[in-house]
Amino acid sequence: MQHVLACLSSAPSNARIIAAAARMAQGFGARFTALYIETPDFAVASAADKQRLNENTRLAEQLGAQVETIAGEDIPFQIAEYARLSGVTTIVLGQSAASRRRILPRPSLTDQLIAYAPSVDIHIIPDGQFSARYRPKRAEDRDAAGIVTDVLRSIGSLLAATVLGVLFDNMGFTDTNIIMVYILAVMLISVITSRLVFSLIASVVSVFAFNYLFTEPRFSFAAYGTGYPVTFITMFLTAMITGTFAGRYKQQAGQAARNAHRTRILFDTDKLLSVAQGREEILRALAGQIGKLLNRTIVIYPAENGVLAEPLTYGHGAQIPCDGQMEREAAQWAYTHNHRAGATTEIMPEAAYMYLALRVGERVYGAVGIEAKDSPLDASENGILLSILGEGALALENEKNAREKEMAAVLAKNEQLRANLLRTISHDLRTPLTTIAGNASSLMSSGESFDQETRRRLSEDIYNDAMWLYNLVENLLYSTRFENGQIDLRQSTELLSDIVEEALRHIRPGARTIAYSAGDEYLLVHADARLLTQVVVNIVDNAVKYTPEGAVIEVVMRREDAMAVVEIADDGPGIAPEETERIFDKFYSGANKSRIADNRRSLGLGLYLCRAIVQAHGGWIRAGRRKPHGAVFTFAIPLKEVTFDEDLSGSGG
Amino acid sequence: MKTYRVLVVEDDAPVRNLITTTLRANDYRYIAVSGGEEAVMETASHNPDIVLLDLGLPDMDGVEVIRRVRSWSNVPIIVISARNEDEDKIDALDAGADDYLTKPFSVNELLARLRVTQRRLMIMNAGGASDSVFVNGQLRIDYAAGCAYLGEEELRLTPIEYKILCLMAQNVGKVLTHKYITQQVWGSSWENDVVSLRVFMATLRKKLHAAPDMPQYIQTHVGVGYRMQRVDG
């Protein structure tokens, strides 16, 4: 897959580059990433530059780019590294960036990029009216208080150095020690002030102060010693260079710290998102991370079926209500247009929150609101926020894909089951229907010519087949109540013996004997009477169906700890050991079909339903073998314990 | 012997046909209608002896038909319902239906229910309700003495068992729902009362069923209620 990378910068011409890259990405059907390399200079960039960078970032975002921020000094190396790691196929650059040259003859950005990443296409976009060389400006509007502090600090440091120098001079130390003290002061200034210019001025001042105070003739800027000019120049250069390095080091340290912070948050986010189960947890992890980063209240509107659901609020810092029509509309706008809205933006700026779309490319998974009424986010916060949102959206997308895949699998399986069911049913219905229709038509056309016995036999066959069909329809109907694992139980407290007796009333055992014993105890269960009756009907019916005439079917009830147990045993041929588990499977109708007493196949639904019903009641069911031969079905459901107001064994009346 | 007039309310033509054929073959007179409005009208104008009412009617809920008829008539109503309409069945009984049949039913079952209802009618018409002694087969209840006997043996019943037995006897042949019985006996129908009812009923049935070859006086209708049947001899 193609992957287009545009480099973000604070240059006014950058918008053109982003637009061109976006068009290209769209043309290729490619992924589109906007990359910003945050150099140490960024901290001192002017407000206008920062503002423009924000605008460019937003534009990229709006055009469907994934915005990434990387900190580093070597711009071409960072771009090339990113391109290599992210599988970028095309890099889009502006002309000015491409042709920018330093004072020292260095290879152009393009040349370096080609050297670092030779396999990537590089497109250069002409800057048009912006071709005038653009240089990022440093911030000029620093607050006066900052400058005053810096000036005071510089003067203080230099004064301290001078006092120390006078002290050393009086103690008879050599000039070298005094020079060292001044260099130390310059270094100190470069660390404690925020701009290089102070250490530069301090170097100059310290050279003149040294000259004025400590070289013969004292208190004049003249110097007798022939070596002094060299000393002064060396001192100036040393002070300046150490000062510059110290300052740069300080900036880098700051940046490294910021970098580490950002990396840690992104790493944590990644880790949290990867362990989050389900959408709810992903959203919570996401909100937690953003909240931790920004220390603001976060509100998330997850999208459900194309509309925003009820918002989830995660408190951090000041709690500002995020309800109200305005907030919702702003969130909806951000969601619909895939563009930020609300506070600090042009769209509905009256809202208390700034809303960003939670998205992967063009697919939006919701809107995230960040409380930003009075304090807009700065560029670095913005960058990392976009990264976190990107991660979150990706996690949501993965979760959605996984869920869809699972649903599709379930759907396919259900479809398969349904097809099986229809096939089995249509096949199995045909046999009894043929008998019913055939016998009925015989009775209609020539009923008078049959003798009494023949008519009775034909009618009985019709009746039996109709009852068989009826039971099958019952099972099908009950099994629909267990569709998709949703169980619809209508429970009430029942005497187990009532249920079993009711079930036995529906059984036509033919030439088999049913020996039923209720036991002495009253077993009360909290059960769906109809469904539990069907369990007993199905098991006893099976016993009748699979045993030869003359067989005895025993139905026994007893208490076992906190369970009510029903055991149904027959002395027929029994079940093969390898089948005792499988017979409860849906549509399993026995490996050895010849065992079935009548020639009709079973639908394989009865025992499946039994297990489903018993399990829904919190019980268990199992099949076993009986010695010397026969099958035993045992099922148990929890007993309902009750207390009574009246002594049951009392007498009178 | 009296010929009974039965109003058949059933919208499904084959089932209606089955019922009317059965009635004709067994010397009943009948009127067949297919809707609830018609049913209410026919009950008012023809004053049938028994109503057979299908619950699933196209124009009106069967339970509503019972409520309307019950506002002026005590005609016995036997409800016919599909098996998955347990709640409807109970509603119908609570609304005043006397008995129910579950589809699919056999012709013999239908005829048996009709006979039970006829006997109820005979007792009602004979004005036997005011008798101070109730007799059903070997079961004898002496209301005045507050005692019940099975054959010559006095039954040892708890006060609640006795109360339930009297209630069943006064409504012999009629299915009483759990709710109805608990309300009559306890004055409420809390879940706990319904649970107690199950156990009292079980002990009562056991006491009434002293020998295995004896008939069951009280029938259990799982999920619905209980009924005392008339026992011969």
Which of residues B101, B126, B151 is at a domain's end?
Answer: B126
User: Do B158 and A466 lie within an 8 Å CB cutoff?
Assistant: no
pLDDT class of A99 with cuts at 50, 70, 90? low
B122 vs B175: CA distance, rounded Å = 17
In a shared domain, residues B183 and B214:
yes
In a domain, B99, yes or no: yes
In a domain, A648, yes or no: no
List chain B residues with CB under 8 Å of A497.
202
Kindly report the average pLDDT of chain B as a whole number.
Answer: 86
Collapse the DSSP code of A426 into the 3-class scheme (helix H, G, I; strand E, B; otherwise coil) and give the result: helix
Residue A253: pLDDT over 90:
no
A281 vs A598: CA distance, rounded Å = 56
Collapse the DSSP code of A413 into the 3-class scheme (helix H, G, I; strand E, B; otherwise coil) and give the result: helix
Peptide bond into B104 cis (omega under 30): yes
Compute the average pLDDT of residues A5-18.
84
Residue of A nearest to B201 (CA): A495
Which of B155, B195, B216 should be substituted to probe chain A, the one whose Cβ sees the most A Cβ atoms within 10 Å?
A: B195
In a shared domain, residues A388 and A488:
no
In a domain, A259, yes or no: no
- Alpha-carbon gap: B1 to the closest alpha carbon of chain A (Å): 30
In a shared domain, residues B16 and B114:
yes
A625 vs B31: CA distance, rounded Å = 57
Residue A571: pLDDT over 80:
yes
Q: What are the start-end ranges of the E strands in A417-528? A: 492-495, 513-517, 524-527
In a domain, B217, yes or no: yes
Q: Residue B25 belongs to a domain with what CATH number?
A: 3.40.50.2300
User: Do B199 and A522 lie within an 8 Å CB cutoff?
Assistant: yes
Residue of B nearest to A477 (CA): B84
Any chain A CB within 8 A of the CB of B83? yes
User: Do A646 and B194 lie within an 8 Å CB cutoff?
Assistant: no
- Pick the closest to residue B53 from B17, B98, B87, B84 (CA basis): B98
In a shared domain, residues A449 and A341:
no
3-state secondary structure chain B: CCCCEEEEECCCHHHHHHHHHHHHHCCCEEEEECCHHHHHHHHHHHCCCEEEEECCCCCCCHHHHHHHHHCCCCCCEEEEEECCCHHHHHHHHHHCCCEEEEECCCHHHHHHHHHHHHHHHHHHHHCHHHCCEEEECCEEEECCCCEEEECCEECCCCHHHHHHHHHHHHCCCCEEEHHHHHHHHCCCCCHHHHHHHHHHHHHHHHHHCCCCCCCCCEEEECCCEEEECCCCC
Count interface pairs A-B at CB distance under 8 A: 81
- Alpha-carbon gap: B113 to the closest alpha carbon of chain A (Å): 17
pLDDT class of A545 with cuts at 50, 70, 90? confident
Least confident range of A275-279, A486-490, B38-42 = A486-490
Compute the average pLDDT of residues A606-633.
88
Residue B186: pLDDT over 90:
no
Residue A642: pLDDT over 70:
no
In a shared domain, residues A97 and A63:
yes
For chain A, state the CA radius of gyration.
43
Compute the average pLDDT of residues A366-383.
78
Compute the average pLDDT of residues A311-331.
70
A429 vs A534: CA distance, rounded Å = 20
List chain A residues with CB under 8 Å of B192.
642
Point out which residues pair with A529 in neighbouring strands. Answer: none
Collapse the DSSP code of A82 into the 3-class scheme (helix H, G, I; strand E, B; otherwise coil) and give the result: helix
List chain A residues with CB under 8 Å of B201.
495
pLDDT digits (tens, 9 = 90+) for A66-88: 777 777 777 888 788 778 777 78
User: Do A495 and B199 lie within an 8 Å CB cutoff?
Assistant: yes
Kindly report the average pLDDT of chain A as a whole number.
Answer: 80
Compute the average pLDDT of residues B206-211.
80
In a shared domain, residues A205 and A337:
no
In a domain, A633, yes or no: yes
**How many helical (H) and strand (E) elements, i.e. helices and strands, does chain A have?**
16, 18
> What pLDDT shows up at residue A620?
93
List chain A residues with CB under 8 Å of B194.
492-493
In a shared domain, residues B113 and B62:
yes
In a domain, A209, yes or no: yes
Which of residues B96, B126, B156 is at a domain's end?
Answer: B126
Residue of B nearest to A529 (CA): B223
A301 vs A314: CA distance, rounded Å = 11
pLDDT > 70 in chain B, percent: 94
Collapse the DSSP code of A566 into the 3-class scheme (helix H, G, I; strand E, B; otherwise coil) and give the result: strand
Q: Residue A85 belongs to a domain with what CATH number?
A: 3.40.50.620
In a domain, A625, yes or no: yes
In a domain, B172, yes or no: yes
Q: Residue A581 belongs to a domain with what CATH number?
A: 3.30.565.10
A397 vs A536: CA distance, rounded Å = 48
pLDDT digits (tens, 9 = 90+) for A130-140: 444 555 555 55
In a shared domain, residues B116 and B175:
no
Compute the average pLDDT of residues A433-449.
84
In a shared domain, residues A583 and A543:
yes
pLDDT digits (tens, 9 = 90+) for A589-598: 665 544 443 4
Any chain B CB within 8 A of the CB of A518? no
In a shared domain, residues A342 and A387:
yes
User: Do A530 and B223 lie within an 8 Å CB cutoff?
Assistant: yes
Compute the average pLDDT of residues A542-563.
90
In a shared domain, residues B140 and B188:
yes
In a domain, B233, yes or no: no
In a shared domain, residues A498 and A392:
no
List chain A residues with CB under 8 Å of B84.
477, 530
pLDDT class of A192 with cuts at 50, 70, 90? confident
> What pLDDT shows up at residue A652?
41
In a domain, B196, yes or no: yes
Which of residues A106, A131, A156 is at a domain's end?
Answer: A131
In a shared domain, residues A583 and A503:
yes
In a domain, B75, yes or no: yes
Residue of A nearest to B103 (CA): A470
Least confident range of A159-168, A211-220, A398-407 = A211-220
What is the secondary structure of A244-312 as a DSSP string? HHHHHHHHHHHHHHHHHHHHHHHHHHHHHHHH--HHHHHHHHHHHHHHHHH-S-EEEEEEETTEE---E
Q: Residue A440 belongs to a domain with what CATH number?
A: 1.10.287.130
Q: Residue B219 belongs to a domain with what CATH number?
A: 1.10.10.10
pLDDT class of A649 with cuts at 50, 70, 90? very low
In a domain, B45, yes or no: yes
Least confident range of A148-157, A165-174, A258-267, B52-61 = A258-267
- Pick the closest to residue A156 from A195, A202, A197 (CA basis): A202
Q: Which range of residues forms the domain containing residue A44?
A: 3-131
In a shared domain, residues A518 and A582:
yes
User: Do B146 and A653 lie within an 8 Å CB cutoff?
Assistant: yes
In a shared domain, residues B96 and B176:
no
Any chain A CB within 8 A of the CB of B194? yes
In a shared domain, residues B112 and B156:
no
Which of residues A479, A504, A530 is at a domain's end?
Answer: A479
In a shared domain, residues A390 and A412:
no
Residue A599: pLDDT over 50:
no
Amino acid identity, residue A463? Y
Which of residues B81, B101, B126 is at a domain's end?
Answer: B126
Any chain A CB within 8 A of the CB of B156? yes
For chain B, state the CA radius of gyration.
18
Any chain B CB within 8 A of the CB of A470? yes
In a domain, A137, yes or no: no
> What pLDDT shows up at residue A238?
84
Q: Which range of residues forms the domain containing residue B64?
A: 5-126
In a domain, B66, yes or no: yes
Any chain B CB within 8 A of the CB of A501? yes
In a shared domain, residues B156 and B104:
no
> What pLDDT shows up at residue A553?
94
Compute the average pLDDT of residues A464-473.
82
ipTM at complex level? 0.75
In a shared domain, residues B177 and B206:
yes
In a shared domain, residues B106 and B43:
yes
Amino acid identity, residue A84? R
User: Do A646 and B156 lie within an 8 Å CB cutoff?
Assistant: no
> What pLDDT shows up at residue A31?
83
User: Do A492 and B83 lie within an 8 Å CB cutoff?
Assistant: no
The winner for highest mean pLDDT among A146-160, A208-222, A244-258, A468-482 is A146-160
Residue B43: pLDDT over 70:
yes
pLDDT class of A554 with cuts at 50, 70, 90? very high
> What pLDDT shows up at residue A594?
42
Residue B195: pLDDT over 70:
yes
In a shared domain, residues A225 and A333:
no
Q: Which residue has the tokens 């259990």?
A: B220
- Pick the closest to residue A21 from A11, A10, A7 (CA basis): A7
In a domain, A315, yes or no: yes
Cβ-in-10-Å burial (0-12, 13-18, 19+) of A71 comes to buried
In a domain, A269, yes or no: no
User: Do A653 and B159 lie within an 8 Å CB cutoff?
Assistant: yes
List chain B residues with CB under 8 Å of A501.
220
A544 vs B102: CA distance, rounded Å = 24
Read off the pTM. Answer: 0.51
In a shared domain, residues B76 and B108:
yes
> What pLDDT shows up at residue A117?
78
List chain B residues with CB under 8 Å of A499.
222
CB nearest to B199's CB, from A466, A470, A644: A644
Work out the end-to-end distance of chain B between its first and last CA atoms, rounded to an integer number of angstroms. Answer: 21
List chain A residues with CB under 8 Å of B202.
495, 497-498, 522
Least confident range of A105-109, A411-415, A460-464, B161-165 = A105-109
- Alpha-carbon gap: B156 to the closest alpha carbon of chain A (Å): 5
Which of residues A437, A461, A479 is at a domain's end?
Answer: A479
Residue B181: pLDDT over 60:
yes
Residue B176: pLDDT over 80:
yes
In a shared domain, residues A116 and A165:
no
- Domain count along chain A: 5
The set of residues, in sequence order, having a beta carbon less than 8 Å from that of A113 and lying 6+ positions away, is: A76, A79, A80, A91, A93, A120, A122
Q: How many residues does chain A have?
A: 653
List chain A residues with CB under 8 Å of B195.
493, 524, 640, 642
> What pLDDT shows up at residue A131?
46
> What pLDDT shows up at residue A593?
47
- Domain count along chain B: 2
Compute the average pLDDT of residues B139-165.
90
User: Do A653 and B162 lie within an 8 Å CB cutoff?
Assistant: yes
User: Do A648 and B203 lie within an 8 Å CB cutoff?
Assistant: yes
B67 vs B94: CA distance, rounded Å = 10
In a shared domain, residues B24 and B69:
yes
| Chain center to CA of B67 | 16
Copy the structure tokens of residue A636. Answer: 């148990």
